Structure 1
Amino acid sequence: MAPVRSLLWRSLRVHQIYGANTDVGKTIFATLLCNATTKIWKNEKTSFLKPVSTGPADEADSCHIAKYAPSTTNSTLIQYDIPASPHLAAKASGKVIPSDHALLQRVYDHVFSHLAQVPGWLFLETAGGVHSPGPSGTSQADIYAPLRVPVILIGDSKLGGISQTIAAFESLKLRGYNIQTVLLFQEAQYENYRYLTDHFCGEHGIPVTTVPQPPPRHENKQQEEAAMNEYYSIASSDPAIHGVLQNLDQHHQDRISRLETMAHVAHKHIWYPFTQQKQLPPGKISIIDSAHGDYFQVFTPPNKDVTAPKHSLLRPAFDGSASWWTQGLGHANSRLSLAASYAAGHYGHVMFAEAIHEPALALAELLLQGMRNPRLTRIFYTDNGSTGCEVAIKMALRASCVRYGWGAGNKDLGIIGLKGSYHGDTIGAMDCAEPNVFNEKTEWYKGRGFWFDYPTVSCVDGKWLVEVPDSLREHLGEGAEFDALAQVFDLQARKNDELCRRYEGYIESVLRDLQHSKRKFGALVLEPVVLGAGGMILVDPLFQSSLVNVVRRSAHLFGDSGQTTSGAVDPNVWTGLPVVFDEVFTGLYRLGRFSAASFLGVQPDISVHAKLLTGGLVPLCATLASESIFSAFESSDKSDALLHGHSYTAHPVGCQVALESVREMQRMDCGGGSWDWAKANGWTGSMLMHESDMGSTQKNNPVNDDQPAVWSMWSREFVESLSRRTTRVTGVWALGSVLAINVHGEDEAGYKSQAAAALQARLREGNDHWNVHSRVLGNMLYIMASQKSSREDIKRLQNLFLESLE
């Protein structure tokens, strides 16, 4: 089943009718609107659709429409005979209960097949109140949100209706609905309409229109029908109702007009990140009308030459970059929106220096517990991954200066890292990367460090290869070959290999050479497991693990004091150099685990986390540090403090959203959770490091003893199939939610390569129903699922990939 498209056609105005409560007159207003549109737009088609109806069929809302708006085409998709809430009626019916996605697909298919080709109006009426459950039990406010249909809210004119109407409005607003008008009856006793008119018009600019109440019911059916016909005749001719429809029509035209011009206006005024805009014509700018779950809804006007029936102007596009790696729990996740709204209403933003609030403290406790790293005891909050890494570097360099007696503010210190690393775009973070395309034209850049080359891992022709670059083969040999990715990560078995001894010997020899050249280093900085912006490079985990272990036992190669590892009493005190893990990209379940450090069997002294931290809703970063790092800043002199921060440090909204996001992913990871299908997706084998097999500094820092085997949302069969397409693909790997494909090209590999552009274009082309919005890193095309992606969506993506490579 294809992803659902939002409902937007040029000549069909679709509006959804929500009620602030049950029994507020939704169907009466729908009938009134249907009659009014047939009077104003006499040559167009007016339609009414009830997706789900409960109760006897002869009392259904469609019967009322048929009786009092006979010129209207009306339909009901699902009718349950039991007069109860849809979730109870569906269960009692004994029929198969449709999923939320299936229900939306039926709505779209019905509109596309029967209504979309003829100019007109469609009023789509919901059941009960805003949060009345659908057949599945999901609130219909959540079910229908992906359709992104503008809303007509029917207010409650009864006692208590003011509160009900405002609450319904806020619930819809919270979920991204556009409420375009509020309608309700003129009730003389309570006069709710007077208050609601002031409230919505004055505070929100949303018009409120009232009509007289319908006549009381008659025991005589003929009299009742006559009275109702007279009521509808008068009310549907009311200039106020005509004004409502004219306003709705204008909103519809304005929406399409704005979408049609956005790309050209943006091309003139927007300066895009990581984009050579000379090569970006307006036609290549994606116009995103909305987003929900894993999909954008992208404005896609039909080809003028196409005469076949046209789909909605909005086409789903799978968010293949996870919106630059931030998207974890799906776009427009109502739980995250609610968390943000709570914190905004409870705090707004509050000063954080020398203060504390519950979201910041609770998040700190949750992260420290989730890391299962006894070294980490402190958290410093910033706003994004780059500034979080900047803070981490400040922490590590100061700790080294204090430990080795170099004095604070030493200007000659560098870091040790890996080639291709990227830690952000602030000046300090940039200096921690070797000269590359990201910094070569930045005037203040000064690379401060030494960067190791390293072996990489990829699947080639069905085998998992540890490939050694030509520059290192003299030292490391030819690498290794494995039958499964799990074997690559089985460091317990691999630590006794000759390759491990070669790694450690090579690293030690390089560090000795650096010492002889009188260079000073204050930190080891790594992106654990995968280098992200450097090209989605899967580094041999054994090499990274070996690098950490050698650095930690080599204090004599870094400090003037001649300290050695044996001098440390507390195994959680850093030795050699402070180890910084930049988990901005790889952490928090991106690769299938809470922390990417657990793949390496070593734990950092400083760890940086962002991206998935808030599920893709708001920016926030947490830099975690050990007590031995923290103590380097303790002093009676305030200038010795970590003088870093920004006005929105520990923003309560971000912290509250992060709490909800992390807790949700932890729930998904539990046994019987949402990822069980992926963990059983053909990926087998263990990759655990056991305490008895760790070095002395790690025995008190064991990795999680209950970690699952290596797994990915992308099936092993699919990955290995891709790897065998050797004329197009030079290597591929998948782990957690990430899929990375090295595309063969004639030009040189790297960020400037155009090798992956053709495959990216084919995915963007997609088909009539959906496509994939993706990013490339030169010859590397990557796709990231969210942590909420379904098995069905992944299968659909896999099929499109295979088709695109043909």
Structure 2
Amino acid sequence: MAAGAVLYRNLRTFQIWGANTEVGKTVFSTVLCNAARAKRDRVQYIKPVSTGNIEDADSSHIRRFAVDRHLDKDDAFSSLCLHQYELPISPDRAAAVSKLHIPQDDALLTEIAQVLSQRAELGGWAFIETAGGVHSPGPNGTSQADLYRPLRVPAVLIADSKLGGISQTIAAYESLKIRGYDVESVLLFEDDYYQNDLQLKAYFKQHGTPCRTLPKLHAPQPSKEKDEELMLRYYEKHSQSPIIEEILAHMKQRHDDRIKNLESMPSRAHSKIWYPFTQSTMLSPEKITAIDSARGDYFQTLQKGDSLLRSSFDGSGSWWTQGLGHGNPQLMLAAAYAAGRYGHVMFAEAVHEPALQLAEMLLGYLSNPRLSRVFYSDNGSTGIEVAVKMALRAARIRYGWGPNEKLGVLGLSGSYHGDTMGAMDCSEPSTYNEKIEWYEGKGFWFSYPTVSCVDGRWTVAVPPALQQHFGADKPFRSLADIMDLERREAGREYEQYRVFITQTLKKLRDEGRRFGALLLEPVVLGAGGMIFVDPLFQRALVSVVRSSPQLFADDAHFPSSSSAWTGLPVVFDEVFTGLYRLGRRSAASLLQVHPDISVHAKLLTGGLLPLCATAASEDIFRAFESDDKSDALLHGHSYTAHAVGCSVAIESLKEMDKLDATGAWDAFKRTWTVTQESNDDEPVWSVWDKSFVEETSGRARVDAVWALGSVLAITLKDVSGAGYKSTAAKDVQAALFAGDAPEWNVHSRILGNVIYFMAGQTSTQESVQRVQEVLRKVLV
């Protein structure tokens, strides 16, 4: 696991960046080191990567000039270069031609963090000097702006005082800011001719960042001795100048303010914020997690002690949105570009490039020949409301029902589609909605068999109430066998499912109930408790609904078009399960079913911004056509087709497809495909090890486990049957948050007695393995 953000109570750490090469980073680093030493503070200077002759290296310069011989003690000052390459060229090229060790990016960050950790108890100052400019490459070619971002060390930017330096400096500053760096000070040399400092001081004043100057250096001297003499004089004069003392005091204050703010956030939040899904009487400031930043799979969260931050694995995928890692550079740049190009523009009877491109891309991405139109909304819940409006109108028009006809939806017990009122009404009564004053469940929800691994064996479990229809639980050799629907369709259980569904629908028809849509979360029901539905049952349900229009209307008929809906419009809620969450572009492919309407959010934007796309068939779209405007789909949001969100979604889809095409998940797949015998071309797999899942399913306190794609769900035994209100998983959640090391823990969410975990599509095997190891320890 790579090092996370570093923040120590007594070690004031700053990173020195250059707007360009040859702007004086090392000179200003030396000045700051000397100024800190003059106040009898300990100082650590770190140069992670350096190129060129060792005698001319920045760390050598620091050792020659950043020591006050009257104050120095053995441990009071240290200058360290972690990796030195002899060729005076960019670090990636110097490293490539060198026979020396080339550290991986994560290893380099870990080295820096270890050096800082060793000095943390001593306190004082630490200055980390980068190489070249902000985007100069590291040893592996990664831009330094991205390479060092996980450490999130506050920045000191050395501006360029030469011709063109204003542009270079502002560009460097903006590059750091959009990557989440706090630029605390800007320093540069005076230049009477170009006078860049005048413009830059005005610019940075607008941004609340102090910009200060020092006189420029003397001209190069013919003798090394004379040059060093003049350098010593320069440092003696300017290291204790009022300007540098002011900057150092400002940096110290910013360090202290950051800690004070971070430590006070939980108590301030407790008194000001109304939290979702939280009973306030059970919440105290101590239970509120203060997040300083996030990167990759991890939050950087506040902890007690001298080291104030630790890496917390984002076990819930930030409520199921996270796919491409926090702070993903590609998504961040896509957002910045669209924000600069558009901001937000209204969308009614207008179009902008990102919205059109995303619509075209998504329709192709889903590979569903039925879908031809995309409607944009703000989030999954509103996207579901749009889908239900579409479906109910199409059914009413098809069957000639009146506009005030009371219609319900068909669905599955335990399904939940969001917290807006209309979406709530599409779910049966539950903890989420039973105390909502306007709630009125409008539908019928089938019971069904479920999939899980119990005592090492994959099983389709049949609820007691359904055993008279389907018999006892059915064991399978593997998850792949369960997902082999083509083979299973030829068996007796598929026909049993169809008979049960048909009889139930006939009974509902005879009771006079009418329905306008079949609404399903394909394969997995999320908020209802991470329930893995037998996909064969869902496939049978869709099949019966589509092949039996007479169950829904007396004058039912089959339309002539092969892509038109029959029976009822089939709506798939893929807000949670779609877009590689379950290892496929679309969860619908696991059922081998093409819905008439499909709803996508969360991973759509890789976890960066809220956006939802509801895709519908042309047949559904035509149901709203009329000469009367009031017959249109009168639904919309102020931020419909938000250009920034659409741009990020385009980049997100591209990135996930690239991961799939380049085999980024092959190592995960191999642990699941050894015994794959399905006729399906795509394997059934998970980032969570097959052996771990099967082993965990045999633990004494574990009732069942399943894993698919990036999701792992563990159901703990609970005789109380309290469901969502169960506390059976609380101690596991607490143990994970306590962690198995001071610098690392797991932040997770629970659904009653179910504790679940969601890796991202960019999660590493190392991260997943570490979570699995700590789970082995706590599930005793």
Into which bin does the TM-score normalised by the smaller protein fall? over 0.9
Q: Which residue of 2 aligns with 1:698?
A: none
Per-residue CA shift, 1:659-711, capped at 9, x if unaligned? 001110011111x321111111233455867xxxxxxxxxxxxxxx7x52101
1:291 aligns to what SS in structure 2?
strand
Q: Which residue of 2 aligns with 1:31?
A: 30
Distance 2:117 2:4 in 1: 10
Aligned residue among 146, 158, 166 for 2:170: 166
Distance 1:722 1:133 in 2: 43
Distance 1:597 1:687 in 2: 20
- Amino acid in structure 2 at the alignment position of 1:201: K
Q: Which residue of 1 aligns with 2:61?
A: 64
Distance 1:150 1:681 in 2: 42
Structure 1 unaligned spans of 5+: 303-309, 690-704
Distance 1:252 1:678 in 2: 42
2:353 counterpart of 1:363:
no
Q: Which residue of 2 aligns with 1:185?
A: 189
Distance 1:688 1:127 in 2: 53
1:174–1:334 Cα contact (<8 Å) kept? no
Distance 1:480 1:93 in 2: 61
Aligned residue among 604, 625, 630 for 1:639: 630
1:54 shift after superposition: 1.0
Q: Which residue of 1 aligns with 2:539?
A: 545
Distance 1:487 1:525 in 2: 26
1:683–1:716 Cα contact (<8 Å) kept? no
1:3-402 paired onto structure 2 within 5 Å = 3-39=2-38, 41-42=39-40, 44-71=41-68, 72-113=77-118, 115-202=119-206, 204-302=207-305, 312-402=307-397
Q: Which residue of 1 aligns with 2:683?
A: 709
2:370–2:595 Cα contact (<8 Å) kept? yes
2:772 counterpart of 1:798:
yes
2:2–2:109 Cα contact (<8 Å) kept? no
1:409 shift after superposition: 4.1
Distance 2:282 2:370 in 1: 48
1:191 shift after superposition: 0.6
1:529–1:596 Cα contact (<8 Å) kept? yes
Per-residue CA shift, 1:46-67, capped at 9, x if unaligned? 1211011111111110111111
Distance 2:502 2:565 in 1: 18
1:599–1:687 Cα contact (<8 Å) kept? no
1:762 shift after superposition: 0.8
Distance 2:101 2:504 in 1: 66
- Amino acid in structure 1 at the alignment position of 2:49: V
Q: Which residue of 1 aligns with 2:757?
A: 783
1:317 aligns to what SS in structure 2?
strand
- Amino acid in structure 2 at the alignment position of 1:539: V
Distance 1:269 1:79 in 2: 51
Moved more, 534-543 or 763-772: 763-772
Q: Which residue of 1 aligns with 2:668?
A: 678
Q: Which residue of 1 aligns with 2:73?
A: none
1:682 aligns to what SS in structure 2?
helix
Aligned residue among 400, 407, 418 for 2:402: 407
Distance 1:407 1:214 in 2: 85
- Amino acid in structure 1 at the alignment position of 2:92: H
- The TM-score with structure 2 as length reference comes to 0.98
2:561 aligns to what SS in structure 1?
coil
1:569 shift after superposition: 1.6
Distance 1:177 1:683 in 2: 42
Distance 1:543 1:633 in 2: 32
Distance 2:674 2:203 in 1: 59
Per-residue CA shift, 1:136-165, capped at 9, x if unaligned? 111111110011110000000011101100
Q: Which residue of 1 aligns with 2:483?
A: 489
2:763 counterpart of 1:758:
no
Q: Which residue of 2 aligns with 1:694?
A: none
Distance 1:95 1:719 in 2: 42
1:3–1:316 Cα contact (<8 Å) kept? no
- Amino acid in structure 1 at the alignment position of 2:160: D
1:376–1:627 Cα contact (<8 Å) kept? yes
Distance 1:466 1:193, change over 3 A: same
1:378 shift after superposition: 0.3
1:197 aligns to what SS in structure 2?
helix
1:684–1:709 Cα contact (<8 Å) kept? no
1:747 shift after superposition: 2.3
1:84 shift after superposition: 1.4
Q: Which residue of 2 aligns with 1:719?
A: 693
Distance 1:523 1:126 in 2: 59
2:585 counterpart of 1:586:
no
2:120 aligns to what SS in structure 1?
coil
Distance 1:212 1:133 in 2: 30
2:605–2:645 Cα contact (<8 Å) kept? yes
2:673 aligns to what SS in structure 1?
coil
Distance 2:568 2:674 in 1: 35
2:544 counterpart of 1:535:
no
Aligned residue among 631, 649, 657 for 1:658: 649
Distance 1:422 1:562 in 2: 29
- Amino acid in structure 2 at the alignment position of 1:265: R
2:414 aligns to what SS in structure 1?
coil
1:731–1:742 Cα contact (<8 Å) kept? yes
Distance 2:80 2:14 in 1: 15
1:490–1:686 Cα contact (<8 Å) kept? no
2:737 aligns to what SS in structure 1?
helix
2:406 counterpart of 1:435:
no
1:229 shift after superposition: 0.7
2:717 counterpart of 1:744:
yes
2:480–2:678 Cα contact (<8 Å) kept? no
- Amino acid in structure 2 at the alignment position of 1:586: T
Moved more, 678-687 or 577-586: 678-687
1:560 shift after superposition: 2.9
Structure 2 unaligned spans of 5+: 69-76
1:683–1:715 Cα contact (<8 Å) kept? no
1:543 aligns to what SS in structure 2?
helix
1:746–1:755 Cα contact (<8 Å) kept? no
Q: Which residue of 1 aligns with 2:72?
A: none
Say what the alpha-carbon RMSD is for the aligned residues: 1.1
2:589 counterpart of 1:615:
no
Per-residue CA shift, 1:757-785, capped at 9, x if unaligned? 11111111102120000000000000000
1:673 aligns to what SS in structure 2?
coil
Aligned residue among 615, 619, 625 for 1:624: 615
1:236 shift after superposition: 1.1
Distance 1:252 1:450 in 2: 58
